[in-house]
Amino acid sequence: MNDQDLKARLTAEQYKVTQKAGTERPFTGKYWDTKTDGSYHCIVCDAKLFDSDTKFDSGTGWPSFFDAESDKAVDLIKDRSLGMARTEVVCANCDAHLGHLFEDGPAPTNMRYCMNSASLHLHERDETDS
Ligand SMILES: [Zn+2]
């Protein structure tokens, strides 16, 4: 998909976050406080990235997960922008920027995937579909 198509399909916020590695303001996104059962997919390519089973309330104002759907769902990139050494998390399928990974999450992984709501789309779990 080319840049023009993406710009047309995504909101300005979604475009800025996923294509320009932007960060939404905390407590403003769609999913930071969501507890709905389901799976979180990439807003750009619809690949499954996270499950609500691994979502936890981090208090940061961004949707946070302690594990990704699988090792292959996301790619981790060392990010040295802003003078800090951070780990950027991107969609393994389409390279959309998702957020950052921090090593201060809860058990069992002790990882905190700090994501942007703008990068995600929640597929609510159907009661009959398990
Ligand atoms: Zn993607």
pLDDT in tens, 19-77: 999 999 999 999 999 999 999 999 999 999 999 999 999 999 999 999 999 999 999 99
Question: What confidence tier does 1 reach under pLDDT thresholds 50, 70, 90?
Answer: low
Rg (the chain; Cα; Å): 14
> Which pLDDT belongs to residue 81?
75
114 is catalytic: yes
Tokens of 36: 């709905």
Angle (nearest 5°) at CA 122 between 121 and 124: 155
- Report CA(108)–ligand 1 centroid distance (Å): 26
Reported as half-sphere exposure (CB side, CA atoms, 13 A), residue 111 has a value of: 13
Ligand 1 centroid–CA 18 distance in Å is: 9
Q: How far is the CA of 42 from the centre of ligand 1 (A)?
A: 5
**Catalytic entry in 45, 91, 94, 114:** 114
